[in-house]
Structure 1
Amino acid sequence: MSLVTDNSIEIDAPADVVWSVLTDFDAYHEWNPFQLDCSTTLTPGAPIDMKVDLGPRPPMRQREFIDEVDEDGRWFTYRMKPAPFRLITSLRRQSVVDLGDGRSRYDSHFEINGPLSVVVKALMGRELVAKFTKTTEAVGRRAAELAP
């Protein structure tokens, strides 16, 4: 049984401002309640190194890999390195949609699949869903603060 969480938020900020929030990885520690630290070159195949807070556990280091990037379409994906026999896989997609009139929508998608996904869901499912929801809200706040 997969773990999937989708979140969206409409933001009073242009799409380029929201995109800049998502791609300014050095600033994640200033606003992101889940990824306390993040670095990547945002190129396919490159690592994305994160320090994630799943609370109540101590923050942990996580390395995943950039899968696809569409800077013109304003979206990117990354995945964990699949476990042997694809016992567990993941996909994270973040995208920005221009709604016109200086407004945009941020869409967040996360999924964990494979036979071991049921274990992850049981151990960390609630925390993951809550953190992705809080992160979506934080993207909206940060972009609105930075909007002209």
Structure 2
Amino acid sequence: MSKNKIESKITIHAPIETVWAVLSNFEKYHEWNSFTPKIELTNELGSTVGLHVRLNPRSSKTILQKETLLAWEEGERLEWGITDAWLVRTIRIQHLKAIDENTTEYYTSDAFEGPLTRLILFFYRTKIQIGFDDVCTGLKKQVEGL
């Protein structure tokens, strides 16, 4: 793992199509995603992604993070990030991999670059890591409960 990357993954006992259906249903993120309970986006590359991020799991307060949709590979991968700023650039990946017809690996990461990277990770690495781990657990519970 890169020191400027935060990542998490989990095995989900469900077909990849079922996991993708939950992962790509942004209107229902609040049902399982405590870290980013609301996302506003279309699947048009280059469009703005509005992420309502909860850095404190004990609070209902979210911050709005605006990023750009970089990849939408139907049934497999979502990617967005901050690519046009020089102080900090990020790339967030959510990737599904079929282990077999009834098992899927979910992987998520956020890679950081730029002069503010060390400062951001000093203050937020643990909160983001906890958030990513919660996303994995929430997605698994939501999908396996269907």
Fold similarity call, TM over 0.5: yes
Is structure 2 residue 63 aligned with structure 1 residue 60? Answer: yes
Aligned identity (percent) is 22
- Aligned pairs (5 A) from 1:110-125: 110-125=110-125
2: CA distance, partners of 1:130 / 1:67: 24
Q: Look up the match of 1:38.
A: 39
Output the TM-score relative to the length of structure 1.
0.89
Output the TM-score relative to the length of structure 2.
0.90
- Aligned pairs (5 A) from 1:6-85: 6-55=7-56, 58-71=61-74, 74-83=76-85
* TM-fit CA distance, 1:122: 1.5
Q: Secondary structure at the match of 1:41?
A: coil
Partner deviation per Cα, 1:65-123 (whole Å, 9 max, x = no partner) = 10012115x1121002532xx22100001111112231111111111111111110122
> Per residue, is there more helix in 1 or in 2?
1
1: CA distance, partners of 2:141 / 2:18: 12
Q: Tell me, which stretches of 5 or more residues in structure 2 are unaligned?
A: none
* TM-fit CA distance, 1:2: 5.2
Aligned residues: 143
